[in-house]
Structure 1
Amino acid sequence: MELNVYLAGQIHDDWRETLKQKASKKDLPIHFFEPMTNHDRSDNIGEEILGEQPNAIFKDEAASAFNNLRTNVLMQKADVVLALFGDQYKQWNAAMDVGAATALNKPLILVRPESLHHPSKEMANQAQVVVNDLDQAIEALAYIFQNE
């Protein structure tokens, strides 16, 4: 069995690569999907496809449409959604992704430091599992494959 995992949430650091390395070290049969993490590409995709937009609002709206399409397609392919809610950056992405996973009825692992319990409580209530760090997240994924 191979598991498809969508890595949602915080977008401005390398936590996804760290998690992939941890999964590889455990030899877990996981295929990861993720949002567009190239910020410039994500911000400009609407104009790249549709052409120059009349102002910044239209540019953002066009980019959002394509990014939402990508997220929806990839999240639908996922068996599990793993969302990181961290304190370094604004967490709108994490909240939106948790809502999308819930709407798609996808099992959800929420990673958030215990110190962020209060601001993430509604998201935590939607998750099947809430863990404090990436090591715990990998152990949760590894448990899926254990037979004994």
Structure 2
Amino acid sequence: MRLTVYLAGEIHSSWREEVKQKAAMLKLPIDFVGPMEDHDRSDNIGEEILGKQPDAIFKDAAASSFNNLRTEILLKKADVVIALFGDKYKQWNTAMDASAAVASGKPLILIRSEANHHALKELSRKASATVESVDQAVNALYYIFE
């Protein structure tokens, strides 16, 4: 059995690579997908596809359409979603992806620090599992294959 895991969360740190490396070390049969990690490409995809937009609001709206399309397709194909809420960046997209996973019945592994316990308490209760580290999330994936 192979699983597809959607990695939701901020795109500014290397946490996804850490998950992928640790899963590979354990020889887990997993394919990873996630949001566009190239921030400039994500911001500019609407204009790349539709052409120059009249202002920043239209540019964002166009980009959002294509980013949402990509996310919706990849989330639907995923067997499991891991959503990391870090301490450094705003996490609106992570919250949206995690909520979409819950709403669509996808198993969700929520990674959040103890410091974010209160802010994420409702979402944490909806998740299939809540952990505090990448290591714990990978161990949860490992447990699926035991």
Q: Distance in 2 between matches of 1:100 and 1:12?
A: 22
Given residue 83 of structure 1, which amino acid in structure 2 is its aligned partner? Answer: A
Q: Distance in 1 between matches of 2:47 and 2:103?
A: 29
Q: CA deviation at 1:122?
A: 2.1
Q: Distance in 2 between matches of 1:138 and 1:7?
A: 12
**What SS does the corresponding residue of 1:118 show, helix, strand or coil?**
coil
Alignment map for 1:101-112 (pairs within 5 Å): 101-112=101-112
- The two structures, once aligned, show a CA RMSD in angstroms of 0.7
Q: CA deviation at 1:9?
A: 1.6
Gaps of 5+ in 2: none
- Deviation per residue, 1:85-140 (Å, 9 max, x gap): 11110010111011111122100000011121011112212201000000000000
What does residue 85 of structure 1 align with? 85
Length-normalised TM-score, structure 1: 0.96
Q: Distance in 2 between matches of 1:56 and 1:122?
A: 34
**What SS does the corresponding residue of 1:53 show, helix, strand or coil?**
coil
What does residue 13 of structure 1 align with? 13
| Length, aligned pairs only | 146
Q: 8 Å contact 1:98–1:126 — kept in the other structure?
A: no
- In the TM superposition, structure 1's runs of 4+ consecutive aligned residues that sit over 2 Å from their partners are none
What does residue 66 of structure 1 align with? 66
What does residue 29 of structure 1 align with? 29
Q: CA deviation at 1:12?
A: 1.4
Length-normalised TM-score, structure 2: 0.98
Q: Distance in 1 between matches of 2:10 and 2:131?
A: 15
Gaps of 5+ in 1: none
